Amino acid sequence: MHSGIKAGVGAVALLLATGAAPDEARSDDALFSFGEMRELQRLPAESARRTVTDDDVVLYQNMQFYTFTVIEALLAANHTVISLGGPPLFCAPSATFRFEDEGDIAEFLGRLTATLVGLVTRIGGSEDHYDDRPASEALLLALRAAHPCGVGLETASAER
């Protein structure tokens, strides 16, 4: 397993276990930082203004695959927490994670990013507050912000 992926999975596991982000879990240990992910999300819009390189395309595709993989892992973690009798990490309807068409993952990622950045901005924080954090950690926070749990809400699990 790629060391960046191991570090990202480890950071999420530690975040889930402790409820807090460890200082050691910085973007230099992760496959993508949240800031790098945000930069790559701008690529389709930038393609009208500049030449997109093959490396840009590969990074963009890797970001989408990484996002899908992180979401699968977070769904599994959510299901595990629920199975062990704990409160869910987030409560998203199962239809939230049905990626059928090209661009669905990028669109979903855009909504999650906007939710997290909007939340940080609303509480008076800097838009780039999470940019140096692992993208996986920021995605968990974004899922929690976009799909909070409340009384009577059910959530998606890794089971299909």
Identify the band that residue 150 occupies on the pLDDT scale cut at 50, 70 and 90: confident
Give residue 2's pLDDT.
Answer: 39
Tell me which DSSP letter residue 116 carries: H
37, pLDDT greater than 50:
yes
27, pLDDT greater than 80:
no
- Output the pTM of the full model: 0.73
Domain regions of the chain by residue span: 33-146
Identify the band that residue 160 occupies on the pLDDT scale cut at 50, 70 and 90: very low
* Contact indicator for 158, 75 with CB cutoff of 8 Å: yes
Rounded-to-5 percentages of helix, strand, coil across the chain? 60, 0, 40
Give residue 47's pLDDT.
Answer: 86
Contacts of 112 (CB under 8 A, 6+ apart): 139, 142, 143, 146
